[in-house]
Amino acid sequence: MGQKIPGLSQTTAELVVQEDEYKGTFEIKSYFFGEIRLKVFKDQQELLNLEFGDLEDLFPRDKGFRKDARGIYRVTRGECKARFGISQKVELHQRALPGAEQYFKQVQDKEREKQPQDEPPPLIKKNLNVNNNTNNFDTVRNHILKDYRSNGSIPIPSAPNIPY
């Protein structure tokens, strides 16, 4: 968490859900009990009043109803198929965009051009004994004698050609 996505890259988030499946059959016994009363009205006047005492007459055997010690029932059978999720996670897939490597190389090359070149180690160190000062050391590099005293860099036309 909290990681940054590098420039010039593509990241795809994939939701991975692990599922399971359930297949089963069921059987339900539904019992019916109670009284049924029927009143028919017309213009707020009762026309008919019926009471059914025995539910066996209303729920006939030929329609799938049965009777046992508890009462009248009907058996419902069926099949259940279900899929349900167990777990889920997010997977991140990352790849560089086409041409990204070349772009980064160009950026690095430009950065190198902007940075001052590190000076290579001195090739020749010699005591020039200028004014008999034995503490004055100068370095010959790229055919230029650099004097680190206050007067700066001095080109020397007769500087030796040093192979690198």
Q: What is the pLDDT of residues 67-89, one digit of tens each?
A: 999 999 999 999 999 999 999 99
pLDDT at 23 over 90: yes
Given this model, what pLDDT does residue 58 score? 83
Average pLDDT over residues 33-61: 85
pTM above 0.75, yes or no: no
- Cα separation, 33 vs 114, in Å, equals 94
Percent helix, strand and coil across the chain, each to the nearest 5: 15, 50, 35
pLDDT at 156 over 70: no
- Cα separation, 51 vs 34, in Å, equals 11
